[in-house]
Chain A
């Protein structure tokens, strides 16, 4: 793995050299809402960005931590419900707090929930992790659907409004897009940074050989739980954006289908690199919105399922891996690429 880093006076090494294509991508993303219609800005652009963030949280756990967690959407749902509860909603169960109290509260509670899930899940491995996180997701889904006192049951909460800050309504297309872009950029850079940090490297080593790391004196349990917390924080950010965009949250948002969709998005893009989930999210959102114009809308699940199946069968690194193979790029030996080779012991 080649790493060239410039080391400024502060001593923090910028993880990778900034190449022209990164600048071009950044310029495109920043200039996008200036050329795109509001629909394309919000429903396609911003939605891809925050679904990408939620899928990124799954990729972080799966790629770097070796733990596939199906409860990332659940964590996002917790954040979404907390925003609805702490703010105003159509049934007035809420507390009516201002946004600068709602958002931190929602993030803290959702991250705490993710940590709790982590505590339960990290003693399992492989398929068991998938099952236990799925079970936790299902429990939360049923609970929100059946409970009316806190979660307003089947109907959920509507009329959740994004805040108006300094005269700008954050739900307007351009502000919302830039907000999502900022959050996505933050999560992406944080992931890249953490993956190269001591914590991240230890996490990846734990993924590869937990016994050896334990013998070397690393606290395997704590590393894994903290990974869940961090991933949970990303998912919580995604959840806040989700509830602001739709203006509503209900059990349907965290049903088994959406839980699996996050996995589909992450795998579609590629679990090897942090940009993968965002690519997967773009493809998924485009298909979701435009499949009806291309094929029978009833067969949307068939389309997305087949694409997913083909990717997993023939290109386990997702679309990114396919692209890399097509242009003859050899995949790096390090990074998150080795999740595939993880054998059951």
Chain B
């Protein structure tokens, strides 16, 4: 019983992390139909930049902010420099972003080396919180869960209660019409990409504090984002939340109860969803 509760909690907190990473991806994918396979690299690069900032300044919060801001800037650069020139060419975007991720991965290996980095968060964040039924649970993970919920609500409010959010949602539904109604679509794109990439960078710092950062994490979180977004539905933040929940729980339950093949479960879910409901749980049929 204790194992089950712990596993569910672990799945929940992992889902929170996946939601943070994937929400940016789904916005970009859903609105701009842009496939950014360098999203995982943004996660890792944000984590490294955040680590170096935190190391240099001594403040973990500054590191987290640096992770967000630096990746937001990177996102805008990517949008202006690359995606704007390749509108509509799905395959070419995919290939270009794959190339960028290969190059970035090696550059990061060059600059930060192959070792694993641990963050140094404030003491009150790290420790055990006593909970009923189970002895204790890491405080940090609960904070992570809370942070994801806050950001999720903030995103929802942004998309549903602000003019910019309204334009983004309109763009997801019908980009041509949005452009016809006089909105500067490129600016909207840039803002969306900045938010999406910034979220990935922030997730890098936040996730890296829980699970440390090392080369290879970029591929892992890219695959996770892909699975979450496809299962949840493109362009829908709610979908990303549902997808993250499904995948996070599946992964932890798999690790706990069938560790030998548990790693495979997330991908089996992906294949199943793509085979039977390609638009995802909350997605609209094409």
Contact = CB atoms under 8 A, between A and B. Distances in A.
A126 B98 CA distance: 15
Given A301-B106, A302-B110, A309-B103, A135 B227 contact: yes
A211 to B, nearest CB: 12
Given A299-B106, A299-B110, A301-B105, A267 B95 contact: yes
Contact of A68 (B88, B91, B99): B91
Contacts of B183: none
B274 A120 contact: yes
Interface in B91-107: 91-92, 94-96, 98-100, 102-103, 105-107
Give the dominant DSSP class at B's interface. Answer: helix
A305 B110 contact: no
Contact of A139 (B82, B105, B268): B268
Interface string B248-285: 00000000000011011001101100110010000000
B110 A344 contact: no
Contacts, number: 114
Contacts of B149: none
Given A120-B271, A305-B103, A306-B103, A138 B223 contact: yes
Contacts of B89: 340, 342-343
Contacts of A309: 96, 99-100, 102-103
Contacts of B260: 146-147
B94 to A, nearest CB: 6
A127 B92 CA distance: 10
7 contacts: A68-B94, A143-B261, A147-B260, A256-B219, A299-B110, A343-B90, A345-B286
B230 interface: yes
Interface string A9-44: 000000000000000000000000000000000000
Interface of B: 33, 35, 82, 88-92, 94-96, 98-100, 102-103, 105-107, 109-110, 219, 223, 226-227, 230, 260-261, 263-264, 267-268, 270-271, 274-275, 278, 286
A301 B102 contact: yes
Interface residues of A, number: 42
Nearest to B86: A313
Interface of A: 62, 68, 120, 123-124, 126-128, 130-132, 134-136, 138-139, 142-143, 146-147, 256, 260, 263, 267, 298-299, 301-302, 304-306, 308-309, 312-313, 316, 339-340, 342-345
Given A298-B109, A342-B89, 5 more contacts: A62-B91, A120-B274, A139-B264, A302-B110, A345-B286
A320 to B, nearest CB: 16
A339 B91 CA distance: 9
Nearest to B95: A312
Contacts of B100: 309
A25 B90 CA distance: 35
B274 A128 contact: yes
A131 B226 contact: yes
Q: Which of B88, B98, B105, B268 has its CB near the most chain A CB atoms (within 10 A)?
A: B98
Contacts of B264: 139, 142-143, 146
B92 A343 contact: no
